Structure 1
Amino acid sequence: MYNPDDQTVKWEPRILLRGSCTPDVTYYPFDRQVCDFTYTAWGYMSEEIRLQIMTTEWDMSDYEKNGVWKVISTNSEIYQYGGSDYVKFEITIQRQPLYFTFNIGLPILLLLNGFVFLLPAESGERIGFCITCFLSFVVLMQTTMQFLPQIASPMSLLCVYVFLMMCFSVFINIVTVLMLRIYHKPEKEKVPKWMQRFTQIIRCQICRCKDRDKPQNEVDWPSVARLLDTFSS
């Protein structure tokens, strides 16, 4: 648009710009992303082309609401660097965590495989319960990775938590196998001295023994297994 009064031309081009930013998923799914985009008239100094903004807030009249993200704030500013004008657009969005909490967070919290020690050893269901919990953590970890961008830094705390719980499930599997092996050992087989000492430490009977040369009571395998079972639960 030409203005004959001051001999100026007003040009308002319409262009479509697309940008991306590196997300910070440390607190996923309760994360908040701050993305900024910087544009300039490449190859022109401030004396040749001067960039201006009408307002610091974005025009959100054509914005369509999203079921995953919520726009918190927007900002625009002009600054100079190296003799050229730069315009910086900044937007802050926050993830709506309700869907991810019910479908990812709660199932992970409800998988308490430590309750395996409440099952009687005679039932024969301990190993199956442990393996089921371990496979559930593997599936949940793969599901969580599908919702997250494939970046190594920063790592989501949720992924770290699921990985630690999976390692804890492996540890419980190993302990359960050892306890069942001890429980089903023949009663006439002699318990090693180190196992008897460990059992006495758990019972806090080692503190009562004043005379170390005094022979200790014999311990059988089922009593050791029951004691370890009680200690684990």
Structure 2
Amino acid sequence: MSVVFIFIVMLSRLLVTAGNDTVVERSAQVRKISQEQRLVADLFQNYSSIIRPVMNQNETLIVTCDAALQTIADFNQKKQYIQTNMWLRLKWKDFNLQWNPDDYGGVSSITVPLDLIWRPDLHLHRNRNKDTSGISSISPRLTSSGVVYWNTPANIMSPCRYDASYFPFDEQHCQLTFSSWSYNYDAVHLRVSNSIADISNYQDNGIWDLLGMLQVVNTTYYTCCPKPFSVYIVTIVVRHRPLFYLSNLLIPCCLIVAITMCSFLLAVDSGEKISLVVTNLLSLVVFMNNLSKAIPNSSDGIPLMIQYIAVTIAIVTISMLATVCVLRIHYRPSLAKPVPAWLKKVAFVYLPPILILRVPAYKMTPATPAIGEPLREMPSSSDAGSDGGTTLANFVSINRRLRCLTARCKRQDAAREIVAEWKQVARVIDRMLFVVFLVVTVSLTMGILMQSKPQTSPEQIEIWQQPRD
């Protein structure tokens, strides 16, 4: 019985002690909250959020600006605007919001609603979103020294002039310009903490590579006002990721040109040479139509890819005309003139070794149908008998017919030789055109790739992407 009584007494003391500790903690929390409430009441008792927080009205208030890019939500090339999500970090000193932490229970910083304090009226120039400025009204943090830290998210939609000259290897520089709408340079002076903005938390975009993000403060004059304004400029430098366009436009275009060049390797008497070239030409026109839908309609410059496809279309068109000429040479009528001697020399002597082409040996003199030798004079019929006259007449008739047959055969052989020579000339020209178009196409492709070199050096990009201190 005594043991049970002792156990009940000890349990009661433990419960009383725990209750006292809870009361002490709640009392401390109440005291802390009351200290912050008292601090806020004291700070904003005679505070005005519409007056610039300086001791002397001739004094310039310095606002430090910094930006941290989160994502590139959209870069519309046709409508030429960029939409980004970022953090704007502003800092300034408000002498009216200073206190001694010891007087308020050690409270050194507080967070208050944005509407309670004065803030710089930063405005985004050329804001594409007319419904909102894009800058959120996040509560700022006040410190006992009077420094105000306002870190607010911003959804920025601003025009960005798209330069498609080097598409799809283009590099774009988009500027976001902020300035105070009411205060000139003498009243509010903006400055940056670092010339390179913060991109440490940037999330990669599948279409654009972020090369860097720069920030600077300039002084700008406006026609409305005699005094200058301080302007905060953020420049986002991005580069197109060309893999999609290379795999869907450039490589198929190169393959179409290669197939077109292969038409010169087909047999000249093949009936599908023209059909193949015309089909490739229509394919290139479709490619150009699809590409024109992806880039803005601008007269500032012709995009690199458009130049390439346009020149490729010209090459395919010329190849079609060349194929028509080759077919016309190949199918010359049998009564055509012989191949000129100079053309024979070029087509059968000089070009075949260069083109690695074997040609049959032909005479370098034009073939002319020869007529048989004149008949030898035969004895007159007066010198022969009656039987001899009949035999002689038959012999003369047979000889005349043989001469005609021989001449006809020689003319046919000469005509066939002329046709064969023209066909061989067409074959040599076909191979020569293949080599010429191959050289032109390879040179064009290399020239396009040489023009697509990066506009910003890798060393400069490395400097932009270094971690900030």
Give the TM-score category using the shorter length: 0.7 to 0.9
Contact map agreement 1:199 1:227 (CA 8 A) in 2: no
Q: Please give the alpha-carbon distance, in whole angstroms, between the structure 2 residues aligned to 1:167 and 1:217.
A: 38
Deviations 1:149-201 (A, max 9, x none): 212223211111110110011101111111112211222322475xx544533
Does the aligned pair in 1 maintain the 2:121–2:182 contact within 8 Å? no
The 8 Å contact of residues 120 and 180 in structure 2, kept in 1 or not, is answered as: no
SS at match of 2:184: coil
The equivalent residue for 1:225 is 426
- Give the unaligned 5+ runs of structure 1: 206-214
- How does the TM-score come out when normalised to structure 1? 0.80
Counterpart position of 2:263: 116
State the partner residue of 2:118: 10
Distance 2:431 2:329 in 1: 14
Contact 2:192 2:216 in 1 (8 A): yes
Cα distance change of structure 1 residues 192 and 123 upon mapping to structure 2, 3 Å threshold: closer
For 1:135, which of 278, 282, 299 is the aligned residue? 282
Pairing 1:182-201 to 2, within 5 Å after superposition? 182-191=329-338, 197-201=342-346
The change in CA–CA distance for 1:41 and 1:11 in structure 2 (over 3 A counts) is closer
Change (3 A) 1:59 1:192: same
Cα distance in 2, alignment partners of residues 154 and 62 from structure 1: 35
Q: Which residue of 1 aligns with 2:34?
A: none
Q: Are residues 227 and 156 of structure 1, via their aligned partners in 2, closer, same or farther at CA, if it must alter by over 3 Å?
A: same
Whether 1:149 and 2:149 are equivalent positions in the alignment is: no
Q: Matched residues, percent identical?
A: 24
2:238 maps to which of 93, 99, 106: 93
Matches of residues 66-77 of structure 1 in structure 2 within 5 Å? 66-77=205-216
Distance 1:87-1:204 versus aligned 2 partners, 3 A rule: same
Matches within 5 A, 1:20-99: 20-42=159-181, 44-53=183-192, 56-58=195-197, 65-82=204-221, 83-99=228-244
CA contact (8 A) 2:209 2:241 kept: yes
Query: Which residue of the partner structure matches residue 164 of structure 1?
Result: 311
For residues 84 and 174 of structure 1, do their structure 2 counterparts lie closer, same or farther at Cα, with a shift above 3 Å needed? same
Deviates more, 1:2-11 or 1:111-120: 2-11
Aligned pairs, how many?
Answer: 222
| Counterpart-to-counterpart distance in 2, 1:192 and 1:217 | 7
Q: How far apart, in 2, do the equivalents of 1:55 and 1:228 lie?
A: 66
Q: Do the aligned partners of 1:187 and 1:222 also contact (CA within 8 Å) in 2?
A: no
- Greater relative contact order (CA < 8 Å, ≥ 6 in sequence): 1
Structure 1 or 2: more helix by fraction:
2
Max Rg structure: 2
Q: Is the 8 A contact 2:198 2:213 kept in 1?
A: no
In structure 2, distance between residues paired with 1:229 and 1:60: 58
Q: Distance in 1 between matches of 2:219 and 2:428?
A: 73
* Partner residue in 2 for 1:209: none
